[in-house]
Structure 1
Amino acid sequence: MEIEQLKSLYLKSKENALNGRYITNNNIKPLLDNLTSKFEVDVIGKSVLNKPIYGVKVGTGEKRILMWSQMHGNESTTTKALFDLFNALSTENDLDYVLEACTLYFIPILNPDGAEAYTRINANEIDLNRDAQNRSQPESKVLRAIYESFKPHYCYNLHGQRTIFSAGKANKSAIVSFLSPAQDESCTITENRKVSMEIIAKMNEMLQNIIPEQVGVYDDAFNINCVGDTFQTENVPTILFEAGHYPNDYDREQTRALIFMSYLTSLDYISQNNVDGKKFKGYALIPENEKQFFDIIIRNVSGYGEDVLDIAIQFKEVLTEGSLNFVPIVEKIEKLNGFYGHKELDANRGKVLDVNGVKLSEGNENVIVILNNEEIALNLK
C-alpha cells in the first residue's frame, strides 16, 4: 500500500473516542457494542477480578491471524490502533480483499485488571508475558484457549515500550520496534522465524519513509516463558510489536498512527502473498534497541562534584483518580556522555537546585527546579 493511502485511511478511520494512555474496558465496551455486523464479538473469559475479556472476529479468509493487546495493562497504544483498524475494516470497501483472504481474531485488552489499575502485571501481580508455560492465570488460559481453537497461521503480540529506547546507539528514539522471537536457546534463524522476519522487513520498509532510522528490533534472547517464544516454538510465525516514543508525543498519538499503518501494511502483504520467508534479509538491517534515552537531561551542572555533571530525569507514570500523570524523578546525576534526552537543557556550569534551594538527589521527585535562579517546570504541560 502507498504511504499516502495509509495516511488517508488513518485520518478517516481514527477512533476519536480513544485518546491518551489510560484505556480500559469502560472505554472499549461502547465501541465493541457499535461494531458492524461484519464483526463477531464475544466474552471469551474473565480476569482475576471477574472483568470480561472480549474477543473480536472478522473476515472469512483461509489465512488466520491472531492479535492480542494490553497483555500488559499499561501498554495501550496498540489497542487504540486496533480500534482504528476496526473502523477501517468496517467502512472501507477497498479493504474487503483483506477480509476475503484472512480471518482475523483480536483480543483488544487481555489484562483488563491491569488496564484499570494501569499496571504491567495482572491483579495477582503476575506478568502474563512470563506465564506462557505455567498458564497460572485466568488471562493466560483465555489466550491459550483462543490460540488452540482458532489455530492461527500468524500471531501478533502487541505491546508498548518505554521512552528509554533508542534505535541502535544513535540519537534516534525507537518510535516503533519489532521482534521475531527465538524458538530455541541458540536463536536459530529457522524457516518459521524467517516468515515473521519477512513481514517485519516489509513493515520497516514502509516506516522508513516516515520515521527513517527510528525503527528498532529487540534482543532475541530465548525465554520459553514468554508467549511469543512459546508460540514460535510451536511453529506459528509470531511478531512482537512495540509502540514507542515519538518526539513530544507522550500520549502516543503519532505512534498510534504508525502502528495502524504497520497493521495494514502487514495485512495487505499477507493477503496478497504466499509469505515463505525467502525475503527475510531486510530484518537484519534494523538496528537493535539500546537504552540510550532519558526524558530530560540537564547538562553541565556544577556543585555536584569536582567537575560539571549531568542530571537525568525520567517520568514515572502515576494514575491518580482516573487521571494519568507523568511525574519527574531524578534518575542519575553523573556524566552522561553517549546518552540523550528527549528534552535537553544546558545549565552552562550553573547550579540546579530544588524549590527549597537544596541539591537534587537520585530517586527524588522534582516537578520544579531552580536553574541559574530561574524556576523551570519539568512536568509535561
Structure 2
Amino acid sequence: MNSTITLSQLGWQPVFQQQLTLEDYEQASIARILAHHRNGYALLTENGQTTLEMHHSLPAMTVGDWVLIDSDNRFIRLLERVSLFSRKAAGAKVAEQFIAANVDTLFIVCSLNQDFNLSRIERYLSIAREANVEPVVVLTKADLCQDSEEKRLQVQDLDSMLMVEVLNALEPASYTVLETWCRAGRTIAFMGSSGVGKSTLVNTLMGGSVQQTGSIREDDSKGRHTTTSRSLHFMPSGAVLIDTPGMRELQLTDCESGVNETFADIEALSKQCRFSDCQHQSEPGCAIQHALETGEADLRRVQNYFKLLREQARNTATLSEQRDKDKQLGKMYRTVQSHSRQQKKGY
C-alpha cells in the first residue's frame, strides 16, 4: 500500500465533508478504519497508516467507519455513518456485532451448487434494505451447476428490480459484469456463507491473491471457511472493497423495515386482510391465506417472511433489554466511584 493516499481514494464523500468544521480541518486528521483487531483499530489517513488502541471510552466502531484523530493519534470523534451492517452476535451471547459501515453496494454472494438457498438470500437482502444499501446478488460456481439459468430466475422472481449476476470461475471474463459497481471512490462489501467462492471472487477483482482460498469438500459440495476477519482493500478500479468472513449465522436485529421492503409483496397482501390485527392463520378474510390457496403467494416465502419478522423482533427486544441493564450497571458504578471519592476527601 502506498504511504500516501487521497481521501477520495479512501471513499470520502460530500456527506462526510458536511459534518466537519473549519476547526476540524485545522486541528484534526481524517482517518478510515481499515481493520478491527482485539487490541484496537488499524486506521488509514492521507499521511499513511496508524493505530488506535482499544479503550472503553471509544464508541462501537467497525471497518469502513470514518473518525477524526488529533496530532497524537488520539480519538476525537466518529463521523455519522451513511450505512451500517450489524447482526446479533453468533451463539448465545447477547450483543450486537457491527459488520461494516459506509458501504454503497452490497454484493450478496451465493453459490449455485448445494449452497443455493433463496431464504438465505432474502435474509441478506433484508439487512441491505435496512441499511439503505444497494444489493446485488452474485451467483457463483455456474461451472458446477447444470441449471444455473433456472436458479437465476428463481432469485430474480424475489424482486423484478433486483440486480442478479451469474459468474463462472472457468470464465474470468464473466467477472467484468461487476465493474459497473466498482467505480473509483465507491465502497463495496461482500457477504455470504462460508465456501461460496467469495474469496476467489475478491482475489479476481483485486487482480491478485488477497484472501486465501479453500477447495471444495466433495462430500457435501461446501467450501472451507477461509476469510477470518473483516478487512478493507483498494481495488485497481479505484473502488474500496470490504471483505467479511463467511457467516454461518446471520441473526437479524432491528430490521423490521428491511424485512418488510424485501417482502413488499407479502406486506402489501397483509394490508388487504379484513381485520387489522389479523394473525394470518385461519382468520376469515385473511388476504395472505387466500393468496396461498390460489397460488398467488409462495408458501416458502410467506413462512420466511414471518420467521424473519419474529427473529428480528425477538433479538431487538433482547438487545434492548441488555442495553438497559448495561446503562443501569454503569450508573451504579459511577455512583459507587463518586461515593468512594467523597469518602476519601472526608479523611
Give me the TM-score of the superposition, normalised by structure 1: 0.22
Instruction: Write 1 or 2 for the structure with the bigger share of strand.
Output: 1
**Scaled by the length of structure 2, what TM-score is found?**
0.24
